[in-house]
């Protein structure tokens, strides 16, 4: 079963007297374990597509399935449950809760799923160590660098092992070195744990590491390129 299916999806809205076709008949299938970038100029529909896949918005027409579940057939509560259980989000602005420590932020989804506290702490502790931020468990977001906050956001996104992790311009607020380290980290999680990543980006460095690049132009798919061997080889050389 694919992680994501998007079938003839349209998202139109009114802007005054004009109809804006943010997405205009987009179809794609994302298999489990893919490491995929959505590229395109500003206004091409990248963020709109991520929001629809993440059930943060509804299409004007078409079908979206996450882990086999048709989003159109779900109640508001079931959609909220699906976002909690099946989708991880990594936002540009990190969106960490300032009054919670790093570990409490990362545990938040697990707490919503009523995972026992001891199990939450164990899982997050192991994950933070793997992400190279083991010393930050009890640190407040305001005391962390941008790169550290983004790693905590990645930990939060993957803690419940969702069907897909969505990242909207994940390197936009990071310097080049930190951005490269973050993408290398995401790629390692993809290869070692099979985490499915879909991210939007303008960043050439990120695009160079993606194993699949879907390019949007004016709300339509202009190209869909798979480059697994080249991208995987490049990132493996950097990691080692």
The rounded percent of the chain whose pLDDT value lies above 90 is 59
Quote the pLDDT of residue 180: 86
Q: Is the pLDDT reported for residue 239 higher than 50? A: no
The predicted-structure confidence for 113-150, as pLDDT tens digits, reads as follows 899 999 999 999 988 998 888 999 999 999 999 889 98
Q: What is the mean pLDDT of the segment spanning 207-224? A: 94
Provide the pLDDT confidence category of residue 58 given band limits of 50, 70 and 90: very high
Q: Is the pLDDT reported for residue 100 higher than 50? A: yes
Provide the pLDDT confidence category of residue 20 given band limits of 50, 70 and 90: confident
Q: Which residue has the higher pLDDT, 196 or 234?
A: 196
Please report the domains of the chain, with CATH numbers, ordered by start residue.
31-58+75-239 (3.40.50.300)
Provide the pLDDT confidence category of residue 228 given band limits of 50, 70 and 90: low
* DSSP letter for each residue of the chain: --SEEEEEEEEEEEETTEEEEEEEEEEEEE-TT-EEEEE-STTSSHHHHHHHHTTSS--SEEEEEETTEEGGG--HHHHHHHHHHHEEEE-TT----TTS-HHHHHHHHHHHTT--HHHHHHHHHHHHHHTT-GGGTT--GGGS-HHHHHHHHHHHHHTT--SEEEEESTTTTS-HHHHHHHHHHHHHHHHHH---EEEE---HHHHHH-SEEEEEETTEEEEEEE-HHHHHHHHHHHH-
Quote the pLDDT of residue 150: 87
Distance CA 118, CA 107 (A): 11
Q: Is the pLDDT reported for residue 235 higher than 60? A: no
Quote the pLDDT of residue 64: 96
Q: Is the pLDDT reported for residue 233 higher than 70? A: no
- Cα dihedral 39, 45, 50, 55 in deg (nearest 10): -170
The rounded percent of the chain whose pLDDT value lies above 70 is 95
The predicted-structure confidence for 154-183, as pLDDT tens digits, reads as follows 899 988 888 899 999 888 877 888 888 888
Provide the pLDDT confidence category of residue 9 given band limits of 50, 70 and 90: very high
Quote the pLDDT of residue 200: 92
Residue 162, by phi and psi: left (phi above 0), alpha (psi -120 to 50) or beta? beta
Quote the pLDDT of residue 121: 93
The predicted-structure confidence for 30-46, as pLDDT tens digits, reads as follows 999 999 999 998 889 99
Q: What is the mean pLDDT of the segment spanning 90-109? A: 90
Residue whose C-alpha is closest to residue 104's, from 67, 129, 158, 141: 141
């Amino acid at each position: 079963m694919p992680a994501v299916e998007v079938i003839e999806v349209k998202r139109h809205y009114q802007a005054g007297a004009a109809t804006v076709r943010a997405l205009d008949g987009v179809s794609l299938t994302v298999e489990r374990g893919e490491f995929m970038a959505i590229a395109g100029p500003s206004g091409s529909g990248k963020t709109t597509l991520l929001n629809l896949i993440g059930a943060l918005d509804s299409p004007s027409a078409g079908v979206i399935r996450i882990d086999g579940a048709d989003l159109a057939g779900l109640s508001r509560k079931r959609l909220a449950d699906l976002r909690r259980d099946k989708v991880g989000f990594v936002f540009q602005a990190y969106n960490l809760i300032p009054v919670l420590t790093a570990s409490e932020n990362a545990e938040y989804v697990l707490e919503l799923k009523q995972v026992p506290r001891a199990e939450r702490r164990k899982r997050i502790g192991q994950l933070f160590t793997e992400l190279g931020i083991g010393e930050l468990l009890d640190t407040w977001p305001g005391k962390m660098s941008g790169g550290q906050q983004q790693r905590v956001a990645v930990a939060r996104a993957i803690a419940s092992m969702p069907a897909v992790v969505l990242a909207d311009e994940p390197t936009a607020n990071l310097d080049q070195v930190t951005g490269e380290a973050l993408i290398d980290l995401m790629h390692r999680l993809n290869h070692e744990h099979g985490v499915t990543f879909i991210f939007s980006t303008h960043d050439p460095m990120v695009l160079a590491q993606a194993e699949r690049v879907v390019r949007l132009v004016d709300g339509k798919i202009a190209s869909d390129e798979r480059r697994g061997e080249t991208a995987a080889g490049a990132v493996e050389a950097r990691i080692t």
